Structures are given as structure tokens and as C-alpha cells.
Amino acid sequence: MYNFRFSIPTTIYFGKGQISHLSELAKYGSKALLVYGGGSIKRNGIYDTAMKILGDAGVRVTELSGVEPNPRIETVRKGVQLCKTQSIDMVLAIGGGSTIDCAKVVAAGALYEGDAWDLVIDPVKITKALPIFSVLTLSATGSEMDAFAVISDMTKNEKWGTAGDALKPTMSVLDPTYTFSVSKKQTAAGTADMMSHTFESYFTKEPGCDVQARFAEGLLKTMIKYGPIALAEPDNYDARANLMWAASHAINGLIADGSKPAWCVHPMEHELSAFYDITHGEGLAILTPVWMEFVLKKDPSTAVNFAVYGRNVWGISGDDDMEIAEEAIDRTRKFFTESMGLPANLRAVGIHSDEHFKVMAEKATKGSAGFFVPLTSADVVEIYKAAF
């Protein structure tokens, strides 16, 4: 187990009706920037509820709406401009991970003199931010409780993740009933996203990270149990609650700190989204089993890791690590495609040419070469091709 610093400063209010705690924003100032997406929060009433609570608490609101599914730097810049010109005290995101990611970089950009894109490509420049709050409406990215944000500049086909302690929200409201209306497609993609976050930390060669590994297995078992239930019964509270809480813990440091993961599948998927604007979780579901097969073949010593995964998460019994490893990967693929209805390959999400694979692979390996099994850009091209 590596040395680490553990810090989860975000207070979570979890459960039905917890949005009432937005009144606590008044402790942080009198002017909030409200960040949201396409307006679904107006249709389902969350917007009105939040505005009433904030109004009663004496918090005035400036709005930044229309945040995109892969949030754009142009929207971030617009938010930063609002903060700077209107003396905003805090930023409140209501939405999913994209909205929260956008709000985070807006909050940091508000206290930064240069262009906000600097903060995306150079996390070191993130030293402070306005207080960040969120009301979560989609279980997936874990942005509600972590240090990360992913922002795109589609004019350059760039999509980068940034991070900073200052980006950790001060408080997030997690009300599982707000996810009852999430579509099957987004529910499935969100589940693939949280599972991928877990895999990125879980597959490590660092020995002695039992606490982290057993936690990761607990999260995976919970996601595998409740993902299909949430698809079949969108208003099943236990399913939505467990997916929501599991997603937050998948990336808040709990399973990563000490095991020193170097993200691998996420950087590969970011290139898919940057070039083709596909749904992030769908790209992850396509790439993950292919990546598993590739690294198992490239480094057969990883059979022991995949066998532990097979035994502890899928309950596969037997003595042959390689056999269990292969079955575990097979079950992972079938879970995504058969149980969750996710696309099986890149053609299924509209990618019909391999023309960008080489440049995408080069960028993906720049983002992270992978620590579990290091990958060259030629390896990544092979993975893209196998996923085609």
C-alpha cells in the first residue's frame, strides 16, 4: 500500500427531500450562480423547489443554463464571466456529472486571472475556487464528491480531465428519487461509467491494498445487482439509492488512495468522445472488456488479478486462474450488452471508420500509459480496432 493523503471534505445529504438543505448556502454568501443543462430540471420541478428554498434563504441566483453532455470550454468561459462581473459568491450545479464538472471549472475560473482552459490542461493552476454545491440528478460520474472535472474543446477535438482539491464540492444533495426519470440509455451508461471508475482503481499490481480492493468489489457487486433492477423498475428506490451512493464512492478516493491507479480505459474513451461526441458510458462499456482481454494477453501474470475479480465479484469457483479470468471478462461483456443493453462495439455507436485511431491512441497514451499494464499507442490502436 502506497503512502497517501485522504480527504473527502464534501458533506452529503442523502435521501428523499434532502434538497431542503440548500438553505445552508446562505452561510456562504448571498449570490449563487445556478448551473444546469437542457432544462429537464424545469420540467420535473427540481428547479422550482431549489429556487424557492434559495429565495427563502435570501440567496439571489444568476443562471448559466444549457451545459452540454460533454461540457464545452465555451460554456465554462461564459460562467466565469458571469461570476466575475456579478460578484458571485458560490456555484450551485443541478444536474449530472457534466453540469457539475462545468460548475467546478467555472468556480475555479472565477478566481483565476487567465483563460479557464489553462485550468483544464494544467491542474496545478487550480489553487482555489468559489464554494461548489450540487444537487445530483444522474448517478454516474461521481463528480458530486470528487476532485475531477472533464471539459471539452470540440474546436480542437480535445477532451481532458483536470483535478484539484479546490474542486471538491462543499456540499452535495443526493436524492435517489431525482434519478427515477433517468432514461434506460443513461441509466445503463451511468452504470458502465461507475463500474469503469471502480475497475480503474481495482486493477493494480500494488500488493496489500486489501481494504481498497474489498471496497471495490463491494461497489461492483452492488452495481451489478442494481443496474438491471433500475432498468426494469426505474422508480425502485433501493436500486436508485445504491447506484447513486456506489457511484460517489467509486471515485472519491476511497478505493484509489493507496493503490495508486493510473487511469487507462477512461483516457481511451475520452478520445472517442472528443472525436465522435458519443455517450461516455457507452464508450467505456465497449472498450472495457476489450481492454481486459488485451492486457490479459499482453501480460498473462494479470490472470491472478482477473481471477480474484471473477471469484469475489462474480462468484466463479475453480482453481485455474486463467480460466476464471477469461470467464470473468466474458461475464463483464455480457453484463454490459445483455443485462444493461449497452452497445457491443464502436460501429453500434456510429463510428464507421478507423481513420482517427492513430492520433486518438497517441493522445490517450499521453493522458495515461496505464500503470496496471503499460500500453503503447500501438497497443491502444489495437484495442480500438478490436472494439470496432
Q: What is the C-alpha separation between 178 and 137, in angstroms, rounded?
A: 5
Q: What is the C-alpha separation between 215 and 219, in angstroms, rounded?
A: 6
Site mask, a copy of itself, residues 45-84, x = CB under 8 A? Answer: ----------------------------------------
Q: What is the C-alpha separation between 162 and 166, in angstroms, rounded?
A: 11
Which range touches a copy of itself (CB under 8 A), out of 84-92, 239-247, 296-304, 374-382? Answer: 239-247
Closest alpha carbon to 336 in 264, 283, 273: 283
Q: Do 253 and 148 touch, CB atoms closer than 8 A?
A: no
Write the DSSP symbol of residue 72: B
Residue 74 CB, shortest distance to a copy of itself, in Å, is 35
Q: Do 106 and 83 touch, CB atoms closer than 8 A?
A: yes
Q: Is 168 in the site for a copy of itself (CB under 8 A)?
A: no
Q: Is 114 in the site for a copy of itself (CB under 8 A)?
A: no
Q: Do 249 and 188 touch, CB atoms closer than 8 A?
A: no
**Which residue's C-alpha cell is 457511484?**
247
Q: Is 193 in the site for a copy of itself (CB under 8 A)?
A: no
Residue 15 CB, shortest distance to a copy of itself, in Å, is 3
Which range touches a copy of itself (CB under 8 A), out of 49-57, 115-123, 206-214, 329-337? Answer: 206-214
User: Can you read off the three cell numbers belonging to residue 296?
Assistant: 490479459
Binds a copy of itself by CB under 8 A, chosen from 3, 85, 155, 353: 3
Binds a copy of itself by CB under 8 A, chosen from 77, 84, 221, 298: 221
Q: Is 318 in the site for a copy of itself (CB under 8 A)?
A: no
Which range touches a copy of itself (CB under 8 A), out of 107-115, 189-197, 207-215, 370-378? Answer: 207-215
Q: Is 159 in the site for a copy of itself (CB under 8 A)?
A: no
CA 33 vs. chain centroid, Å, equals 23
Q: 29 or 218, CB closer to a copy of itself?
A: 218
Residue 305 CB, shortest distance to a copy of itself, in Å, is 17
Q: Do 349 and 282 touch, CB atoms closer than 8 A?
A: yes
Q: Is 127 in the site for a copy of itself (CB under 8 A)?
A: no
Q: Return all residues near 315 (Cβ < 8 A) that are at least 6 apart.
A: none
Q: Is 233 in the site for a copy of itself (CB under 8 A)?
A: no
Q: What is the C-alpha separation between 243 and 258, in angstroms, rounded?
A: 24
Could you tell me how many residues of this chain bind a copy of itself (CB under 8 A)? Answer: 41
Q: What is the C-alpha separation between 94 and 132, in angstroms, rounded?
A: 11
Which range touches a copy of itself (CB under 8 A), out of 36-44, 53-61, 241-249, 344-352? Answer: 241-249
What are the C-alpha distances in Å from 60 to residues 25, 26, 157, 344?
11, 10, 36, 47
Q: Is 4 in the site for a copy of itself (CB under 8 A)?
A: yes
User: Can you read off the three cell numbers belonging to residue 207?
Assistant: 500488493
Q: Do 274 and 158 touch, CB atoms closer than 8 A?
A: yes
Q: Is 249 in the site for a copy of itself (CB under 8 A)?
A: yes
Binds a copy of itself by CB under 8 A, chosen from 122, 238, 354, 355: 238
Footprint of a copy of itself on this chain (CB under 8 A)? Answer: 1-9, 11-18, 207-208, 210-211, 213-215, 217-219, 221-222, 225-226, 237-238, 241-242, 245-246, 249, 254, 257-258
